[in-house]
Structure 1
Amino acid sequence: MARKEEPQKRERRERGSINPEDIIAGAFELAENVPVDNLSMPQLAKHLGVGVTSIYWYFRKKDDLLNAMTDRALAQMQVEAVMGDSGSDWRERLYNHAHAARRAFLSNPILCDLILIRSSLSPKSATLGAREIEHIIDDLVKGGLPLDDAFDAYSAVQLHVRGSVVLARLQERGKKYDPTSQAYYENLVITPESTPLLAEAAGRGRVGGVPDDYNFEYGLNCILDYTSRLLEQKPTPTKATPKKSAVRSSRAK
C-alpha cells in the first residue's frame, strides 16, 4: 500500500532571519485554511519554519498579530472599495461603492473575518476606518446631500453591505466544517397546501433571507430610492431678499 504523501514543510529558518512583514504574510497564508479566531502562534511558527519565540519577539500576544493583520486588511479594503469619481451623482457613487465593498469582502473572506466578524480594532485601524467614512460622507455632501441624509444613507448602506457579507461568510464557514449544516431559510418547510404564497414565490426562484445578488440589489435600491424621495420632498431653500431699509441705507451712502 502506497504511503500517503505528507505536505511539504518549509525549511527551518535561521535565527533572526524573519521580520514582522514575513510573519504577517505567513499569518494570512495560514488563515486560508485555519479560521482567524482559531489561529495560534505555535501553528504559525510551524508554518513559517521558526521557533515560536521568534514570533513573540515581534508580537507579544495573538491580539497584537491580529491587529497588524487587520491594519493591512483595512488598507487593502480602502484600495479595493474606494468611492472616488465612480459615478456622475451621489446615488451612482454610493451604489458603486456598495457593490465594490461587497465584492472585496466576498472575494477575500479573510478581510471579512478580520474587519467585520472580529470585533477588536487597533487604534490605527479605528482611525483609518473613521477617515474612510469621513471621505465618503464628504463626497455625498459635495454631491448635494444634506449632512443628515448623507450620514443616514451611508449608515444604512454600510449596514446592508456588512450584514449581507457576514451572513454569507458565516454560512460558508459553517458548511466548510460541517457540510450537513443548513441556513434558516433552507430549513423552512414550504408546501402548496400550508404556505401557498411562499410556494408560488419559490416556484419563481425567490428565496427569502438568502444573501444572494438579487436580494442584495433589491435592498440597496430600496435604501437609495427612499433617500431620493426624502430629497424630493424637501423644499428648495430660497435666497433671502435684502430688506428695503437696508437697500435705502446703502443707496444713501
Structure 2
Amino acid sequence: MQDHPVIWMRPEHGTRGPKPAHGRRDVAAAAVRIADAEGIDAVSMRRIAAELGTGTTSLYRYVSKKDDVLELMGDEVLGELRDTTLPDGWRPGLCAIACLLRETALRHPWLPSLASGRANHGPNSLWWSELTLSVFDGLDLDTDEMLATLGTLSAFVLGHVLGELGDREAARRSGLTHEQWMDQQGEYGPAIMGSGRYPRLTRVMIEAQTPHAADRQDRLFEAGLERVLDGLAAHLPRN
C-alpha cells in the first residue's frame, strides 16, 4: 500500500497555513536548472531549496519525495514542446517527433535516464502522448502496434543521444576534441591495419568519411532514422 497518491492527483499545496511562496513548477524549474548544470545526482531537496531561497522542509508542501521531483522535471521539459505542430503523414510525423526528442534530450542530458523508465502522466506528458499518437490518425492500427512503433522510435533516439552524450563526456574528461582524439588514434591505425587480422575494419578505417565529418552526429542520426522508418514502414499501411 503506497503512502501517497500520484503527485498529479494531489492538490498543489495544502489548505492550511500561509499561502506558499512557490509552486510545483518553481520546484521543477529549479531542479531542471541544477540537473542541466551539474547532473541529475546533484538534485536534492536541499539544493532545490537553496536555489529557491527557502527552507528544505518547506518543499514538502509541494512534494513528498525525490521521485516526485523527478516526475515534475520530466514533465517540465516536455512543456518546452507545447508549440509543436506535427506535419501530415505518419512518416513525416515520426521524423519530426524523433528530431524533437533528440534536441530536447541534448539540451537536458539527464533526460534519457528518466525517459527510459516508467511513463510520466503529468499534464505536459499527457499532451505529448496524445500528440504523438495522432500520427496514426486514419491508419487501421491497433493500439499495441502504435505503442510498438513509438517505442521503437524512442529506443533509437535515446540510444543515439546516449552515444552523443558519451562523446561529449569523453571530450570533457580527456580534454581532447574529437579531431584531436582521431589524430591520436591515427597513430595506432597503421599497427591495426598492418596486422592483417582485421580486413573488414581496415576497409572501414580507410574508406569511411562520416567519422571524420564535423557534422558526423547529424549524419549518423539522419541515416539511422531513415533505416528505422524504413523498417517501421513494413508494418504500417501506405498513406
Question: TM-score under structure 2 normalisation?
Answer: 0.65
Change over 3 Å in CA distance of 1:163–1:59 after alignment to 2: same
2:77 counterpart of 1:73: yes
Q: Which amino acid aligns with 1:23?
A: V
| Equivalent residue pairs, number | 206
Distance across 2 between alignment mates of 1:140 and 1:42: 44
Q: Which amino acid aligns with 1:18?
A: A
Change over 3 Å in CA distance of 1:160–1:30 after alignment to 2: same
Q: Which amino acid aligns with 1:222?
A: R
Corresponding residue SS for 1:63 = helix
Provide the residue aligned with 1:164 in structure 2. 160
Provide the residue aligned with 1:103 in structure 2. 103
* Contact 2:136–2:146 (CA under 8 A) maintained in structure 1: yes
Q: Which amino acid aligns with 1:166?
A: L
Provide the residue aligned with 1:31 in structure 2. 35
Distance across 1 between alignment mates of 2:159 and 2:236: 26
* Contact 2:133–2:146 (CA under 8 A) maintained in structure 1: yes
Q: Whose Rg is larger? A: 1
Question: Any stretches of 5+ residues in structure 2 without a counterpart?
Answer: 1-17, 177-181
Cα deviation, residue 68, structure 1: 1.8
Distance across 2 between alignment mates of 1:217 and 1:145: 28
Corresponding residue SS for 1:109 = coil
Distance across 1 between alignment mates of 2:91 and 2:226: 10
Quote the RMSD (CA, aligned, Å). 4.0
Provide the residue aligned with 1:193 in structure 2. 194
Change over 3 Å in CA distance of 1:17–1:213 after alignment to 2: same
Question: TM-score under structure 1 normalisation?
Answer: 0.62
Cα deviation, residue 151, structure 1: 4.9
Cα deviation, residue 160, structure 1: 0.8
* Contact 2:102–2:157 (CA under 8 A) maintained in structure 1: yes
Distance across 2 between alignment mates of 1:162 and 1:31: 18
Question: Any stretches of 5+ residues in structure 1 without a counterpart?
Answer: 1-14, 235-253
Q: Which amino acid aligns with 2:43?
A: L
2:181 counterpart of 1:179: no
Cα deviation, residue 225, structure 1: 2.2
Change over 3 Å in CA distance of 1:173–1:149 after alignment to 2: same
2:143 counterpart of 1:140: no
Cα deviation, residue 19, structure 1: 0.9
Deviations 1:88-132 (A, max 9, x none): x3222222222222122223335445434xx3555x34x865664
Q: Which amino acid aligns with 1:100?
A: L
Q: Which amino acid aligns with 1:219?
A: G
| Fraction of identical pairs, as percent | 24
Corresponding residue SS for 1:59 = coil
Deviations 1:4-61 (A, max 9, x none): xxxxxxxxxxx97731233332222222322113322222223333222222333232
Pick the aligned partner of 2:231 from 226, 230, 241.
Answer: 226
Distance across 2 between alignment mates of 1:140 and 1:17: 43
Provide the residue aligned with 1:240 in structure 2. none
Q: Which amino acid aligns with 1:224?
A: L
Q: Which amino acid aligns with 1:198?
A: L
